[in-house]
Structure 1
Amino acid sequence: MDPQANGDDSRKRKTHKKSRKGCGNCKLRRVKCDESKPQCSKCLSYGVTCNYDTEGNGEDLHLPGEGAFTLLRPPIATAPTPRWELPKDSLSPEGYDFGADTILDETRELHDSDEPYVITKEDVELLAFFTDRTVYSIGTAQMVHLYRYHVSNMVKLPHTSYLFHIVLTLVLMHKRHVFAPNPWTTQPSEKESYHWYHGTALFSAVLRSPIPEEQRDPLWSAAALLGCLTIASISATRPEEAWPLKPPSQEDLDWLRMSDGKKEVWRIVDPLRENSVWREALDYNAHRDPEPYKHRVPELDLLYPWLTKIYDFDPNSSETSKDPYHTAASILTRLMELDCNHSTIMYFLSFIGHMQPAYKELLHQKDPKALLLLSWWYGKMCQYNVWWQSRRMVLEGQAICLYLERECGDEDIVRLLAYPKMMTGLIKA
């Protein structure tokens, strides 16, 4: 049988299945859409945002968080956001070869496609950029060697196609921030959206199957990188277009849902197991200092009396079942004594990881007391000006402050907005 004939036949079948009234994503991917609204079954199962407003004339897939980095110059002053620079002492050893070129012309799996992806010279260069640049801006300083060596080697394995696509997505996003004159005005390229789609779809498919041992570390690596991507993907162009000021949509608080997903991946793969490459870096209790990077700050002295007044907060109490704010307030008071930087960022991300379901529900409801705690966390996160999180921290932090000033009648809550307003750039220090 002629292979070329098979290929032609396959293309004809795909054309035949194309739906005239299908959503834009299915038209772009040239697959049959069941035309269910508001979400067709294809988009729902693949984890992309369904869109019936486009005719599919070359638009990118509408992924969760899609539309990020289309920022116009905001009318309100934002916190300073200088371009991230590679530390001088963090360059690769001269002449060191990570062996990315060994996978040139190899193939990797694509989701819902019989045709594999062929690795190009450009892809090899992107993987080299990951080991030489991107790894220094994600995770913690203590995790750099994990990303440079272990994750870089995992990407080269033929059974980790999902991680290959996710790493390329992260690098393409990072490069836009490194080389664009104004990173907040750039849009995701078609290549970036392409790899994001296939990476997340393949990742989900692997999680739905029995997990072999050799997939456990790559899966956690992918989950960690997807966390960065989701926080980085925000479609707002100014505070008024950011949550909670913008009209409600299914993309609201996407980054919190990703946090829930990471918890489930953690449960499945157990990155603290004996033979995990992540064990040492993630087991904080085994090697952290009693009081890492701790110092007193005047902001905490200002915050604490108001926590007691507004939340009836008792730091000595561990009772959280009847108090949806307690865990968030307790973690926040400890974080206020730390500087947010490359060495401590995981402590600050624990604020997300330990959110109680009741507190998350209050955020969805735009509860003023819940939003106030989140605004202070955004303010502290603005201390660490790194490409994958600074835009969301600034814009959503500003939006929360503006929302509370306009909608909340509690003078005590409005008074406490001075700190997040200063840190996110709404007011000058």
Structure 2
Amino acid sequence: MTPSTHLTQHLAQCIDTSFQSYPGCKLFHQFVLPNCVAIPALMHGLLALSARQLQHLQPSCRLHERAYLFHTQVATRLLNQELTQATIAVKDLDFIFATCLLINMISFATDETIPFNSWLFMSDSASIDNALSWFMVQQGMGYLSKILNRNPNGSVWNTELDADTSCNPHFVIKDDLPSYSDLELIPQTLAEICCITTDSTPDNNSYYTPLVLLSRAFRIKSLGLGNLNSYLSFGPHVPQSYRLLLRQKDEKALLLFMLWLMLFEEETCWWIGARTRNEYAAVLWLLSRSEDQRIREVARDPTIFVRSNASV
């Protein structure tokens, strides 16, 4: 297993190449790193990310793989212990969020290049759950984000992100229902496929929230305002009912999943690009053979929703 001293030496470079926004790098360099020694879960999370990137850079080195698996397991176990406490100290929330973020990044990373190895082509339930865990685990980020937003003392994450203009305000997630202007942004074709009407709400239609989030993303991408933080907000904020439909390979859920993956088509970040390209190719292949003509047409030219939003 790669020694922790070596992983620690690689941390600064790892952070610089793993966060695509200045606020992310700044927070980890100035807030997370100086405090990680006192927070075991966070420390192991950082070592796990460092080892995972080294394994990505040197895939033949089994020592890096063992290190990232070990530190990820320890970080996850310690994080779960924190989350199961009856009460979570306010002072620990920012560190818990950082640990959860690291575990999400590690889960997201893959070196797989064969689309047909995707969970979409698996039949064994346990294999599917394992292969789709990179998306399902993002639910924890949504839960913690809501807690941070309600923290009366404020969060370093919210403070830094709110102060940075690259974290686009058009994609802010709120707890209340999306406004009518959001509904107007939903492409008519997708509204029809997903049975979205003026009476639809997040409670009576599992596709509602994912569609609103995607429509906002299409809009800001068409205006050249999109950024990685905006697109990654999708996974943590879709409802559990949508996740279950996706797990069941429901075609409508897969269609929205494909459109989300499409947003990352130009992404080169080491822990994102391979995953999104591979999953996108897999779901595109599957939906292009759908019995629903409307879904086949979307799969034929999914970028139309970004192009058409430019004139909205």
TM tier, shorter chain? 0.7 to 0.9
Offset at 1:142? 2.3
Query: Does 2:204 correspond to 1:322?
Result: yes
Q: Distance in 2 between matches of 1:124 and 1:371?
A: 43
TM-score normalised by the chain length of structure 1: 0.58
* C-alpha separation in 1, matches of 2:165 and 2:152: 14
Unpaired runs of at least 5, structure 1: 1-59, 61-119, 293-302, 423-429
Kindly state the Cα deviation for residue 221 of structure 1 after the two structures are TM-superposed.
0.8
Query: Residue 101 of structure 2 aligns to which amino acid in structure 1?
Result: A
Shift of the 419–243 alpha-carbon distance from structure 1 to 2, 3 Å rule, reads: farther
Q: Deviations 1:313-351 (Å, cap 9, x if unpaired)?
A: 45x776232222122122212212334999721211221
Which residues of structure 2 form unaligned runs of 5+? 172-185, 305-312
Q: Is residue 220 of structure 2 the alignment partner of residue 338 of structure 1? A: yes
Q: Which structure has the greater CA radius of gyration?
A: 1
* 1:170 matched residue in structure 2: 49
1:368 match: 251
Q: Contact 2:106–2:271 (CA<8 Å) still a contact in 1?
A: yes
- Normalising by structure 2, we get a TM-score of 0.77
CA offsets, 1:341-372, max 9 Å, x none?
A: 99721211221122122222211221111111
The 3-state SS of whatever aligns with 1:366 is coil
Q: Does 1:146 align with 2:27?
A: yes
Query: Does 1:397 pair with 2:280?
Result: yes
329-338 vs 259-268, which moves further: 259-268
**Displacement after TM superposition at 1:123 (Å):** 2.9
Q: Where does residue 383 of structure 1 map in the other structure?
A: 266
2:214/2:234 contact within 8 Å kept: yes
Give the conservation status (yes or no) of the 8 Å contact 1:131–1:147. Answer: no
Assess if the C-alpha contact under 8 Å between 2:166 and 2:227 holds in 1: no
In 2, Cα distance between equivalents of 1:344 and 1:421: 17
- CA distance change for structure 1 residues 169 and 271 in 2, over 3 Å: closer, same or farther? farther
Give 1:410's match in structure 2, choosing from 261, 267, 292: 292
Q: Quick check: 1:378–1:393 contact (8 Å CA) kept in 2?
A: yes
1:90 maps to what in 2? none
Aligned CA RMSD, in angstroms, stands at 3.5
1:20-64 deviation digits (Å, cap 9, x = unpaired): xxxxxxxxxxxxxxxxxxxxxxxxxxxxxxxxxxxxxxxx9xxxx
Q: Does structure 2 retain, via aligned residues, the 8 Å contact 1:372–1:413?
A: yes
Match of 2:235 among 338, 352, 357: 352
Q: Are residue 199 (structure 1) and residue 75 (structure 2) matched?
A: yes
Equivalent of 2:94 in 213, 217, 227: 217
Distance in 2 separating the partners of 1:271 and 1:321: 22
Paired amino acid for 2:241: A
Note the C-alpha offset of 1:281. 3.0
The secondary structure found in structure 2 opposite 1:337 is helix
Give identity over the alignment, percent. 23
Equivalent in the alignment of 1:251: 130
What is aligned with 1:27? none
d(CA) in 1 for partners of 2:96, 2:155: 12
Give me the whole-angstrom Cα distance separating, in 1, the residues matched to 2:271 and 2:277: 12
* Cα distance in structure 1, aligned partners of 2:76 and 2:169: 38
* Aligned mates of 2:170, 2:148 — CA distance in 1: 30
Instruction: Specify the code of the residue in structure 2 equivalent to 1:404.
Output: L
Letter in 2 for 1:251: N
Per-residue deviation, 1:143: 2.0
Cα offsets for 1:380-402 (capped at 9, x unmatched): 12222211112221122111122
The structure-2 alpha-carbon separation of the partners of 1:143 and 1:186, relative to structure 1 and needing over 3 Å to count, comes to: same
Q: CA deviation at 1:130?
A: 2.0
- Counting only pairs closer than 5 Å after superposition, residues 85-104 of structure 1 correspond to structure 2 as none
Match of 1:400, as an amino acid?
Answer: V
Aligned to 2:189: 306
Q: Give the Å deviation of 1:186.
A: 7.0
Offset at residue 176 of structure 1 (A): 2.8
Q: Structure 1 residues 343 and 277, CA, compared in 2 at 3 Å: closer, same or farther? A: farther
For residues 165 and 243 of structure 1, the distance between their equivalents in structure 2, rounded to whole angstroms, comes to 28
Q: Structure 1 or 2: larger helix share?
A: 2
Change in Cα spacing, 1:418 to 1:270, as seen in structure 2 (3 Å) is same
CA shift for structure 1 position 169: 0.7
Deviation readout 1:233-265 (Å, 9 max, x if unpaired)? 57x551111021122323142123312223344
Q: Deviation per CA, 1:187-228, whole angstroms, max 9, x where unpaired?
A: 652122111111211222222234334422211110111111
Residue 132 of structure 1: CA displacement? 3.4
Number of residue pairs the alignment of both structures matches:
284
CA contact under 8 A between 1:130 and 1:167: conserved in structure 2? yes
In the alignment, what sits opposite 1:279? 158
Q: Secondary structure at the match of 1:211?
A: coil
**Cα 1:221–1:271 shift into 2, 3 Å:** farther
